[in-house]
Structures are given as structure tokens and as C-alpha cells.
Amino acid sequence: MPVSRSCERRNVASRASSEPVESVVTGPLYTSHVRTAGAAANLGRAMDLQDWVSRAVTAVGRWEDTFGEFGRHPSLEVSEERFAAAFETFSDRLRANYPYFHPSYAGQMLKPPHPAAVAGYLAAMLINPNNHALDGGPATSRMEKETVARLAAMFGFGTHLGHLTTSGTIANLEALYVARELRPGLGVAYGAEAHYTHGRMCHVLGVPGTAVPADAAGRIDLDALDRLLAGGRIGTVVATAGTTGLGAIDPVHEVLAVARRHGVRVHVDAAYGGFFTLLAALGTPGEPGAADRASLDPGPWRAIPECDSVVVDPHKHGLQPYGCGAVLFRDPAVGRLYRHDSPYTYFTSGELHLGEISLECSRAGAAAAALWLTFELLPPTPDGLGRVLAAGRRAALDWSDLLAASGRLDLYQRPELDIVCYFPVAGPPSRPGKPGQPSLASIDEVCARMLADGMNDQDDPVFLSTLTVTADAFARRHPGVAADRPDTRILRSVLMKPESENHVGALHARVEELAGG
């Protein structure tokens, strides 16, 4: 198996469809970029995904062999030649992706799953259990209950009721559905920087949703929240532990205090940020006891088990393929709100079927299997998954230092988790050799150009993303920039791959170069 191909893989996106298909299937798309933890610098022994994929197929085949022989129906048969031809087209089309696996991809919240998740998912998918009911997926339903219990323990929940979902959106929908049932007629409040799903799902549920203004760091404004809750029209407030745009952490402990004073419930949307609770266990940043400079103020995280519900997405920082969110409720009695009649299911056992406490019906048992196997190897503990998150956070801190000291770029605000936002300091030249005065219009224009130039560079591509911020939000952080338009795009990088830690210098140099035009 390949050991490291970091050099030849540098331009994987730009080389795209010109390579022979075998190299796509056997090498670059998967194996060599996944390296063992603790590997020196950029080199390390690749986990042999091909071997594990093959073992997954073998293990399921052995189990299938314990049942009687039968012939496959000819309607399902396709010739090897036709399969090979279709697969060649298919794998060629997959090349039209951005290289999410590579540290030069520093854009959105995207990265491939861990090999354990891939092997676990594949093995279970070959059986294709459905975790709706125990007869649809007895083994993977048990795995789901165990992984959900591990998530609950990670947050410090004493009691819980919860399940996996296909996404953070559905997980939040469930939490807001329960909010509506428990506080009928009352609305839901969330920070102005909360994920758009909250406003949207309030609309779906027919619940009034109110956005609370953000403070100067992008967190929910506590005074504004207090005033809103005093009006008596809100039944549940959503605190976001890690906003999607900036990675800002709403002060969950303070939100909780304000909410409880008004008799209001609290739901925590930690879809993106939830696993960072593992870094809160490392101690208070800056204090002598802190075990790592990636450590986080424990205040907001320690308050989560006092809240009513929490959502976390294993398909973001839990090393899982898409299709894996989770919702947890502190009070198991909310299960009654899911009661429904399903005459064709729930017949094998009196034990709780996951479909009985979920709004979704069919759900991939393979998603639970993948998470279960991943947690066996990288548990949701500070020493397990915590090390992965700490590396991304250190990368964000290191890059923010470089950005703050740069003459070409500036830091939008100090990262709280692993999202870094920045912008070019000077506008496009007003005449050759004369940098333009910074204004929102010029920042927007240069950011758009940098994004495109970085992606389209054939020799040394870099993949960023943008965040649109209002003129008001920008001015609160950077007064003195002419507000000649109502908003501007800035650049945003989510450094969620631990490998980013060793790539910050190169990334910074490349982005500075792009800013130079």
C-alpha cells in the first residue's frame, strides 16, 4: 500500500479527469491521505483502507454463508464488462470534487470519514439494516443506543433520551417539535447568528421564531434576550455552542440563567461545536492547570447537561460520513410526545424501538454501525476524539496569530473554535502600485477574486469559502473601513482536519499571495 503521496497529490483537483481510472480506484482518492495519529510531520503510515474494506466484505460474506444457499435472480445480473464501463464513467465523474481530504482545502465543514467509519458503514450497509424498528436492525439499533449513551456521557447528561438522525437539521427539528409540544402557543428565540434551520423549522412547525441580536463577538446578546423573555411570549430559547459562520459560542450557562429566571426552556444547537466540549475538559485557557493551549472555557459546556436538549452532528466533527446527526433530551419522559400507531412494526420485542422516539421512520443502521466502530477506536473523550479537535483548534489559533500580524490580511475576529475568518486589508489598486483604500465594496471584490483565483490555480490550488457579514457587524470589529455597501463577503476557513496544524504556514503564505493579486 502507498505510504505517502503528499507531493504527487498536491494538484489532485486540477489533474482531475486526465488520469487512468485504476489510479482513482486504487490509490489517490482514499488510502494515502489517512495517516496514523502521532505520525511525524507530514509523513506517516497510511491505514490500509483497502484491506479493511475487504475484511468488511469478507466478514459479512461469512455471516451470509451461515444461511442456506440460493441463486441470485437473473434480473439483478449485470456483466462485469458493463459494470466496469459504468464504474469508469462514475469514478471519473467523482473527480469533479474539491479535495476535502487535503489541507489545501480550507473552506467549508467538509472532510472524509475515518477509515473505521468507512469499514463499519460498508459492512453494515451490505446487510442494510433499518434502525426504525428492532426487527429492521437489531444489532445496529443496540449500537445506536450505546453510541447515543456515549454522546450523553460526553455532555455529562445524568439521564437522557435520544437517537441518531440523518442530519443536524432533522435533529434540531425534533428538538423544536418537542419545544412546541411542551410549550404550546409560545415562540422560540435564537441568536441572530444561529443556523438558518431554526427560523425555517419554526415556520414548518407553525411556531413564532424570534432572532435575538448578536453582540460584538457574534454571540447571542444576553440583555436583548432578557428583555425578550420578559415579554412572556417565548417558551424555548436556542443557544448555539459554535455558530456556523464564525464558530462563536453562545454563553450557554448565562443563557440558561436568564431563561430559567423567566421559566423558559433551553435547547443547545451544538451540531457543529458539540464535540469541542472535550476541550473544555482540558482546563481553563491560560490558567496553569490547562493541559493544552487548545483548551476552552468550561462555563458554556458544563451548562449543557442542565439544558433541556442538545444536538450534535457526528458527521461534522465525529469523523462520520453524511447521514449522522443526534438529538438528546435530558428528560426521558419527552418520549411520550412521539407516541404514534404503527401496526406494521414494533412487533419483535417490548424493548424500545428507536422509531418510537423519532420523527423519521427509516434510518440507516449503517450510520450507527460506523459511529459505534469509530468510538471503539477514537472514543468521545479528551484523549480520543479530543486530540483530533485540539489539533484543528491549534491550527486556527496559529493562523489567527499570523493573520493578525500580516500586512496583507486581517483577522475578522479571534477564533473560538476552529473557524478562522479574515479579509484583505487593502482594496484593488486604484492605479498601478497604489493600493486602494479599504472599503466594504473593495473587500468584497478582492475576497471574491481570491476565492476564485485560489480554486482555479492549476499548479497550487487552495480552497476557501466566504461568509457574508453586515456592514454593522463589520464596523463593530473594524471601524474605519468605509461602509459603502450594506454587507460584504469575507473569507472563511474551517480547519477541521487535524493535518491542518502542520499546514498553517503554507496556507497563510498562499492566501497572502492571493491577496497580493
Contact residues for ligand PLP, defined by CB under 6 A = 109, 167-169, 172, 195, 197, 240, 244, 269, 271-272, 313, 325
Four-point Cα dihedral 376, 381, 387, 392, nearest 10: 110
Between 167 and 413, name the residue whose CB sits nearer to ligand PLP: 167
Of 325 and 415, nearer to ligand PLP (C-beta) is 325
The minimum distance between CB 101 and ligand PLP, in angstroms, equals: 19
Least distance to ligand PLP, CB of residue 335, Å: 23
Beta strands in 27-129 (DSSP E): none
Would strands 187-191 and 161-165 be described as parallel, antiparallel, or unpaired? unpaired
| 109 vs 388, beta carbon nearer ligand PLP | 109
Nearer to ligand PLP, 29 or 171 (CB): 171
Whether 354 and 132 have beta carbons less than 8 Å apart is answered as yes
Q: How far is the CB of 305 from ligand PLP (least distance, A)?
A: 19
Q: What minimum distance in Å lies between the beta carbon of 516 and ligand PLP? A: 32
From CA 463, how far away is CA 452, in angstroms rounded?
A: 9
Closest contact distance (angstroms) between CB of 24 and ligand PLP is 27
What is the smallest separation between the CB atom of 266 and ligand PLP, expressed in angstroms? 15
Residues 6+ apart with CB under 8 A from 140: 124, 129, 131, 365, 366, 368, 369, 372
Name which of 143 and 496 has its Cβ closer to ligand PLP: 496
Look at the alpha carbons of 447, 453, 459, 463 in this order and tell me if their dihedral is positive or negative: positive
Cell of 339: 407516541
Residue 491 Cβ, how far from ligand PLP at the closest point, in Å?
A: 18
| Euclidean distance between CA atoms 395 and 399, whole angstroms | 6
Closer to ligand PLP by Cβ: residue 118 or 248: 248
The torsion angle over the Cα atoms of residues 37, 42, 47 and 48, rounded to 10 degrees, is -170
DSSP state for residue 221 in the 8-state scheme? P
Minimum distance of ligand PLP from residue 327's CB (angstroms)? 11
Select 136 or 218, whichever has its Cβ closest to ligand PLP: 218
CA distance linking residue 504 with residue 495, whole number of Å = 9
| Nearest approach, Cβ of residue 274 and ligand PLP (Å) | 9
Nearest distance in Å: CB 226, ligand PLP: 23
Report the residue number, 194 or 369, with the smaller CB distance to ligand PLP.
Answer: 194
Positive or negative, the CA dihedral 390, 215, 286, 283 is negative
Other CB atoms within a 10 A radius of the CB of residue 92 amount to 15
Q: Which residue, 140 or 197, has its beta carbon nearer to ligand PLP?
A: 197
Decide: 160 and 329 in contact? Cβ < 8 Å: yes
Q: In sequence order, which residues have a C-beta less than 8 Å from that of residue 330 and are 6 or more positions away?
A: 157, 158, 159, 160, 305, 306, 307, 308, 309
Report the nearest approach of ligand PLP to the CB of residue 23 (Å): 32
What CA–CA distance (Å, rounded) separates 194 from 161? 24
Instruction: Please report how close the Cβ of residue 244 comes to ligand PLP at its closest, in angstroms.
Output: 3
Q: Which is nearer to ligand PLP, 5 or 200 (CB)?
A: 200
Q: Which is nearer to ligand PLP, 244 or 488 (CB)?
A: 244
What contacts 216, CB < 8 A, 6 or more positions away? 476, 477
Q: How far apart are CA 477 and CA 115, in angstroms?
A: 41
Q: How far apart are the first and last CA of the chain?
A: 40
Measured CA to CA, the distance from residue 112 to residue 30 in angstroms comes to: 9
> Measured at CB, which residue is nearest to ligand PLP?
168
Residue 52 or 272: the one with the smaller Cβ distance to ligand PLP is: 272
425: which residues sit within 8 A by CB, 6+ positions away?
A: 406, 407, 408, 409, 410, 438, 515
